[in-house]
Amino acid sequence: MDTKSLVGTYNKKGQKIVEPEYMLFEAPRTQEFMTGSEVVKEGIRRASVDVSIAYPITPQSEAAALVGELYVEGYVGEYFRGENEFAVMSECAGASFGGARVFTTTSGPGTLRAYENFPMWAGSRLPILINVMVRGVNSPLSIQPDTLEMGMILETGMLIWHAETAQEFLDFLLAGFIVAEEPDVHIPIAVCIDGFFVSHTKDMVMLPPADITLTPYDPYRSPVPCMDMEVPPIRMMRDPFVMKSNYISYATHASWQQEVRAACERSRKHTIRLIGGLIEEERTDADILIVSSGTAVAQGREAVRLLADEGIRVGIVKIKTIRPFPHEELRQATKNAKLIFVPEFNVAGWMAREIKAILPDNERVIAGPHVCGGMTMPPEVIVKEIKKVLAGRKEAVHG
Amino acid sequence: MDKIKINDEFFDIMPPEYQELVEEATYGKEDRGWKDVGVAKELIEEHSLCAGCPESIAFRYVLACLPNPQDTVMVGSTGCTSLVFPHVAIHNIHSLFGNQNAVASGLKRTLALRFPDKVKDVVVLAGDGATVDIGLDMTLQSWFRQEKFTTICFDNELYANTGGQESGLMQKGFVGKMAPAGKKFDKVPLPEIARDSGCHYVAMMTVSKPNRVEKAIRNAILVAREIGPTYIQLYTPCILEIGKQMMEGLQEMRDSEGPGKRFEFKEYISDEAKVFLDEVDAERKAKKKALRAARA
């Protein structure tokens, strides 16, 4: 089935099937005031999702439940509550292996319980979209926002996008399916948001009409066979690779791992087409830059305003895609910077490590400030960090 | 059946094995069964299991007895079965260890959604470690949810693939790796748990009697297709780990299936499934009778 041929036709809910470009850029939009959880419902309503499987964990429970309402309304083909996150991600895998467009959500400890599935999804080329509403994973127990879990899924082979606002979240959800499902990509995608700050906060969102929907998933555009016995079965190999501790086994697994990562890199052109660049820049001619992702960027903007009042000029680089990581874009955007601050909602500072790893003269990169375990990122903390480092520099010069 | 065709012009240059597969396959044959083992190309010709492994013959029986192989997808788990699946001409999914019933749940629902007018069977095949230990939660919950697929457990009473560690289906007292002083608790009564958890057809047996295995597999798959979850537990001893020779597997099964033995034949059928299976039997008998009458 060529899904392009369905453009202009109507699904059983009476929604008109439209090109992703129309959905994202051309369709008239109306302003709504809604939470991130409600954004999930409205995004999935317009995304031709076949299967969604849910499990409760704060802060994503509400979003997962709202998708259930869509199922009852007939916008989602199949929906049920799985037994735990490991099982849910396995159920999602089964659904995706069978040729469905699959959506699920998780958070914090749930992400880690599900973890074994993520590299399996990627290695099996399953373009599942998982929304990760990040929260703390530490003990003592916390339900507050924390991006540590994102650092833990960096090397699973999935695409990872990080939305800053409810609006961006909506657009990332819609574009995410399309990018992940492109035949030259065809790997899972994690669309992340900061739990509570985006999921539970009301924000203005420009919504496309509810009577249009994305082109459905075509399982036969997959680079690997769909497991539905609709194509003649073959015996895949003479000997299972798992049996072999030899060069053939090594070559197979190594090349496949590289292929999955290459698929991630190949997503760039589709990502640029549908969500703009992999980064966004503001005043990157400044000597001082704040570079981060998610709501840390929003707080960074406030810090920029406070610092401007004191005559300190600071620019911003917002990273939208963590995987693929925007290496070249960041090198270009930061080439004139003397100091690069990376505020993060986690104790590990994984984003700063990522940035340090790819920039020349990386002593310019200041890993911090960090807030972890659920505290918001007060702009004053960013201001204080920048002023502290600047004062240190002055002392070093004049002292 | 027009599942597998070769372009006429290319037929003679295709490998003979493929020609044979296309011409002789049992796909679409209503009375396919264990007697096709050894002659039908689409069943396992070679396997990478140990010589004399009872699992290899169990695997062949399962494949030969699928009522709808051309539209059957199998879900496996890590273990010796995952070493055989690559030789099988049926779509199969091996994702992780223990999550087979979860994967099958998503798969079956998707196939029902995508092909509402077509029969698509899903069959899970996994060992006792995957079914009863690490995957027990997902095994049970798929039954609670009344997922419409068959679960087959190759019970060899230990974790065979990793070298003979204790499993929930191991007999009490058996000294195994990780059970150095003998296993402390009884073999988990999974057939009874399956019955009480909502399975509509449950059978436990060895694979020493192919006719019985064939009937159970067909019953289980047909009931799963029409009514709800079904479960079959087959004793497939790991001769390597229990210290038997390659020719001793069959006798080991026979020694374990007598009255009062661990693998005494058990079969539980729900009332709903019984009515359905009686109808299927009556239909089959009528067909046979009609065929005989036509021949006469």
Q: pLDDT tens across A337-346, in order?
A: 999 999 999 9
Residue B47's pLDDT is what? 80
Give pLDDT, residue B27: 81
- What is the reported pLDDT for B262? 95
Contact at CB, B113 and A50, closer than 8 angstroms = yes
pLDDT tens column, B208-247: 999 999 999 999 999 999 999 999 999 999 999 999 999 9
Does the beta-carbon distance from A87 to B102 stay under 8 Å?
yes
**B93 vs A396, B75, B86, B125, B234, CA distance in Å?**
62, 5, 10, 10, 21
Residue A388 tokens read as 């502290």
Q: Give the span between the Cα atoms of B104 and B170, in whole angstroms.
A: 25
Interchain contact, B141 vs A87, CB within 8 Å: yes
Q: What is the per-residue pLDDT for B80?
A: 87
Task: Write the DSSP assignment of A181-233 as a string of letters.
Answer: HSTTT---EEEEEETTTTTSS-EEEEEPPTTEEEPPP-GGGSSS--SSS-S--
Give me the residues paired with residue A192 across strands: A132, A162
Average pLDDT over chain B reads: 93
B268 pLDDT above the threshold of 70: yes
pLDDT beyond 60 at B253: yes
Mutate to test the interface with B, among A121, A235, A242, A249 (most CBs of B within 10 A): A235
Range name among A235-249, A341-355, B112-126, B139-153 with the lowest pLDDT average = A235-249
pLDDT at B34 over 60: yes
> pLDDT tier at A397 (50, 70, 90 boundaries)?
low
Q: pLDDT higher for B141 or B47?
A: B141
* Contact yes or no for B104 and A233 at CB 8 A: no
**Cα of A188 to nearest chain B Cα, Å:** 15
B126 at A interface, C-beta within 8 A: no
Instruction: Map residue A340 onto helix, strand or coil.
Output: strand
Quote the pLDDT of residue B90. Answer: 86
Contact A243 B83 (CB under 8 A): yes
- What does the pLDDT read at residue A379? 96
CA distance A110 to chain B (A): 16
**pTM of the predicted structure, to 2 decimals:** 0.95
Q: Does B93 touch chain A (CB under 8 A)?
A: yes
Q: What is the pLDDT of residue A211?
A: 98
Does the pLDDT value for residue B86 go beyond 80?
A: no
Residue type (1 letter), A369: P
Does B3 contact A at CB distance below 8 Å?
yes
Residues 35-94 (A) with a CB less than 8 A from some CB of B:
50-51, 53, 77-78, 80, 82-84, 86-88, 90-94
pLDDT above 80 (res A377): yes
Does residue B142 register a pLDDT over 70?
yes
Residues of B whose CB is below 8 A from A93: 93, 95, 99, 103, 106
- Is residue A238 over pLDDT 80? no
**For position A1, what pLDDT does the model report?**
52
d(C-alpha A238, C-alpha B87), whole Å = 7
The A residues from 117 to 156 touching B (CB cutoff 8 Å) are 117, 120, 124
Angstrom distance (rounded) from CA B102 to CA B261 = 32
Arithmetic mean of pLDDT over chain A? 94
* ipTM, 2 dp: 0.94
pLDDT tens, residue by residue, A113-147 = 999 999 999 999 999 999 999 999 988 888 889 99
| Predicted confidence (pLDDT) per residue in A239-280, tens digit | 566 666 677 778 888 899 999 999 999 999 999 999 999 999
pLDDT bracket for residue A374 (50, 70, 90): confident
Whether A233 sits inside 8 A of B106 (CB atoms) is no
Mark yes or no for CB contact A87/B115 under 8 Å. no
Res. A54: pLDDT tops 90: yes
Q: How far is CA B209 from the centre of its chain?
A: 14
As beta bridge partners, residue B172 has none
Give the pLDDT confidence score for residue A396 in this predicted structure: 66
